[in-house]
Amino acid sequence: MNLLTQPVGVSHYLIVGAIMFVAGVVCMATKRNALGVLMGIELVLNGANVNFVAFGSVYLRPEVTGIGLDGQLVALFVIVLAAAEAAVALAITLNFYNNHSTVDVDQADELKG
């Protein structure tokens, strides 16, 4: 099965989502800047969102019953969560900066066991 010749379906969305997810994870794991890490988190979340939307869409999956808004609803929920999380995380970062005059996450090892 060649994806490139197929009509756009769930698999394509999943691939995009997976790429976004992996990019996000890599971003989180490699960035030393706290803001970069936050961005990675956004990518991860939105990668998951793409999956939700794809799985929930009546267009992509005709076997889905109902009006097909389940995925969208969950995606919306995740977006709201992400916004809240971003607000909190930015506040933490700001505080961290105030205390350490840096946003380098490697400097934040006070929770070391």
Q: Which residues bind other proteins (CB under 8 A)?
A: 25, 28-32, 37, 105-106, 108-113
Report the distance separating Cα 69 and Cα 63, nearest Å.
14
Both tokens assigned to 8: 């756009």
From the CB of 112, what's the least distance to other proteins, in Å?
Answer: 3
Report the distance separating Cα 109 and Cα 83, nearest Å.
26
Shorter beta-carbon distance to other proteins: residue 20 or 37: 37
From the CB of 110, what's the least distance to other proteins, in Å?
Answer: 6
Please tell me the chain's helix, strand, coil percentages from 3-state DSSP, rounded to the nearest 5: 70, 0, 30
Shorter beta-carbon distance to other proteins: residue 11 or 30: 30
Shorter beta-carbon distance to other proteins: residue 16 or 89: 89
